[in-house]
Chains A and B, each alone.
Chain A
Amino acid sequence: MLQLSGNNAAPEVLQGSLLDLETGDAAVLDRLELPVDDARRLMEMGFLPGTRVIAGYSAPGGDPRVFQVDGSEIALRRETARNLKIRKDSRKSTKPARNL
């Protein structure tokens, strides 16, 4: 397992995973709890620790969901999103508007 943290000081309380985001929510990616190869693939697609991720629309039922990350829109299944741990975006403490 690879635990890459973009937040070495880690003063904040960890806030769960991408799974907790609803359409329009933003968060900062903290670490990827995935096998090295899978984590690398995701990082090449933009899911780097410290990157801001916004949850977009999803397939009916919320799975898979599209995430806006580093200028791209990438769809992930729940089983993968669960392993991408986040900390809440400090710049966006309140829930943002739904219309992206």
Chain B
Amino acid sequence: MSQCGDCHGCASAAVAELPHPAAVKTVALVGPPNSGKTTLFNRLTGLRQKVANFPGVTVEQHTGVAVLPDGRGVHIIDLPGIYSLSPRSEDEQVAYDVLNGNRTDTEAPGAVILVLDATNLSRHLMLAAPILALGLPTMIILNMGDDLATRGGKVDIKKLSEELGAPVALISARSGVGVDRVFDFLASTMPKPQPKLLPVLQDVPKCREWAGAVGSQASYRAPIAPKWTRRLDRLFLHPVAGPIIFLLVVVGVIRTIFMASAPITTAAQSGFEISGNWVASVLPEGLIRSLLVEGIWRGLGSVLVFLPQVLFLFLFIGILEDSGYLARAALIADRTMARVGLQGKSFIPLLSAYGCAVPAIMSTRTIENKRDRIATILIAPFMTCSARLPVYALLIAAFIPNRPLLGQLVTQQVAALLGLYVIGFLAAVGTAKLLKSSVLKSAHAPFLLEMPSYRWPTVQSLGLRLLDRAKVFLRRAGTVILLVTVVLWVMAHLPYSGGKPPEIGNSLAGTIGHTIEPLIQPLGFNWKIGIGLITSLAARETIVSTLGAIYGMDPESQSVGLQNALRADLSLGGAFALLIFFAFAMQCISTIAVVRRETGGWKWPILQFTYMGVLAYIGAFIAYHVIG
């Protein structure tokens, strides 16, 4: 990294270079966490974005295309949020390498857009020093300009631009005010910054001093403290009310997922049934009809109807995260984390594991301590992910009456779902304790958590999240689950004898189910559930499509519906055992793959799969015998 503070000659060196005539094709978006960088990225690229991983590392690469008024497209890379350019964590290393053009897989950006929080400019300006020192054309965006104004702060943009030697714009990415200035910059020739005297970059106090001086030159007046954030924190972090609200939020979210989506799910279910019957009526009887209607339609349909519930879950996670409440929840929960030897940073991945363990495991990269990171990776799949939701929802709806337990708010069904979330969490916590007191013992790094101001989540950001999750869900349904369903249908129709498929119990699939039956009988499962357990190794929710297909192919249960067919097949104890089994077992190929990649070998995923499997078997055994 260049240290321009020490080299006064850099001024003449930069002047000698002519402005680049060719249009810049790639622009990097840089900024500290919580500066609204991603909101601006969404504004610039809209739906023209994609998420991938930087090859070789586990940092997510968000790229998109901003379309300029003249129709030209500019590639935008949204780099991970960073406080400085001294690379220590993997995130910062990637940002550093991309900006310096050290990565062969990513085109070196021709320009930089630095996004800073206008309400906290003095400190955030520190990041301007190393960014300007790169010598790339740079635009400095002061985001949250609306907050600055309403809270009585101000800044002289022209003066700041002179001080930094680069264009500056005060915008509000949330409302879209001023975003046209960013497009103007992208469409312009993008001049390199005028060389200025920059501080020694390694010296934090010097950088802060420089940032403060630049700020006061631009007559920056910091806004008064956000009134509503204080008021809300007073309530949400109240010693008594705080934890109660925390619990109410968790219960409320789970209740709403279950209740609000129920009518949509029911409607979708009958939609699939009616359309399935219609397809059956127009197609001639035969193998094709059987594959389409009984295999694919019933199988896929029984999973797809849970899309509303999954989207509700991600809607709530999105609202909690974007509003700023999630950081407070992490604060309230930190003591529990500390007690099991984990640091607060483990909390965010664990919370996002309620959505899906795969991104959660990838997000553990922010944990610098390797042992803490592995411990977090190992316990993340215990958190109740959205793929378990269809299984839980199906079994709970089939076996647990919807009677009030604690008033109307907590019915028996809600309590059961809540209990499953708690069981998963306890298993995670217990495993963490075990790991941290044995193989993964380590000293802690300091826990640092920035509390963002409370904000209204925007429809755009929530919408993009939901769209993204819906795509993931449908892609899984259209690939893994579809494939497993078709294979299952084929195996259920072999061996073919006398021009007729066998009875499901005598088919290849049935034989496999019967083979493992002795192993799972102690848990209260029969061979049909056994087939579901095998197919759910690919992805948990596949058991729902499998059972949907099996019962659909079996003439005895064809007409009674999935719930009734299950009730005929499983005792109450067996249903509980199945729920416990799914709470603990690691049935997810994607998670196994991501753990192997993140931990760099097969040792940890094999250990994790075995441990979770044994725990699931023992847990299910106990549940069956206690309740049965």
Contact = CB atoms under 8 A, between A and B. Distances in A.
B205 A49 contact: yes
A93 to B, nearest CB: 22
Given A74-B448, A77-B447, A68 B225 contact: yes
Contacts, number: 110
A50 to B, nearest CB: 8
A27 interface: no
Interface in B426-471: 444-451
A40 to B, nearest CB: 6
Nearest to A44: B83
B88 A80 contact: no
Interface stretch (B162-170, B331-339, B402-410): B331-339
B334 A77 contact: yes
A61 B335 contact: yes
Interface string A41-65: 1111110110000001111110110
A46 to B, nearest CB: 5
B45 to A, nearest CB: 28
B119 interface: yes
B225 A100 contact: yes
B344 interface: yes
Contacts of A74: 448-451
A44 B88 CA distance: 13
B265 interface: no
Contacts of B613: none
Interface string A5-24: 01000000000000000000
A77 B338 contact: yes
Contacts of B126: 44
A75 B230 contact: no
Contacts of A34: 446
Contacts of B238: 57
B449 A48 contact: no
A70 B444 contact: no
Interface string A77-100: 101100000000000000000011
Given A59-B335, A71-B120, A80-B447, A64 B344 contact: yes
Nearest to B327: A75
A73 B122 CA distance: 14
B9 interface: no
A59 B331 contact: yes
A70 B122 contact: yes
A70 B243 contact: no
A42 B446 contact: yes
Contacts of B72: none
Interface residues on B, range: 35 or more
Contact of B242 (A40, A46, A60): A60
Contacts of B122: 70-71
Contact of A75 (B204, B239, B449): B449
B208 interface: yes
Interface string B107-120: 00000000000011
Interface string B65-99: 00000000000000000011010100000000000
Given A43-B205, A61-B335, A73-B451, A80 B123 contact: no
B280 interface: no
B222 interface: yes
A42 B86 CA distance: 14
B233 interface: yes
A22 to B, nearest CB: 13
Interface string B221-250: 010010000100110011110110000000
Contacts of A42: 446, 448
A41 B205 contact: no
B445 to A, nearest CB: 7
B331 A75 contact: yes
Given A43-B205, A77-B344, A57 B120 contact: no
B447 A76 contact: yes
B204 A77 contact: no
Contacts of B240: 60
Nearest to A98: B234
Contacts of B234: 57, 99-100
A52 B309 CA distance: 47
A76 B204 contact: no
A48 B211 CA distance: 13
B118 to A, nearest CB: 11
A41 B446 contact: yes
Closest 8 CB pairs of A and B: A57-B237, A73-B451, A71-B120, A80-B446, A43-B204, A75-B449, A44-B83, A77-B447
28 contacts: A4-B205, A42-B446, A42-B448, A43-B205, A43-B208, A44-B126, A57-B234, A57-B237, A58-B331, A60-B243, A60-B332, A63-B338, A64-B334, A64-B344, A66-B331, A70-B120, A70-B123, A71-B119, A72-B120, A72-B123, A74-B449, A74-B451, A75-B344, A76-B447, A76-B448, A79-B444, A80-B447, A100-B225
Given A66-B451, A73-B451, 18 more contacts: A34-B446, A41-B83, A42-B446, A44-B84, A59-B237, A60-B240, A60-B243, A64-B331, A64-B335, A64-B344, A66-B237, A66-B331, A70-B120, A76-B447, A76-B448, A77-B338, A77-B447, A80-B447
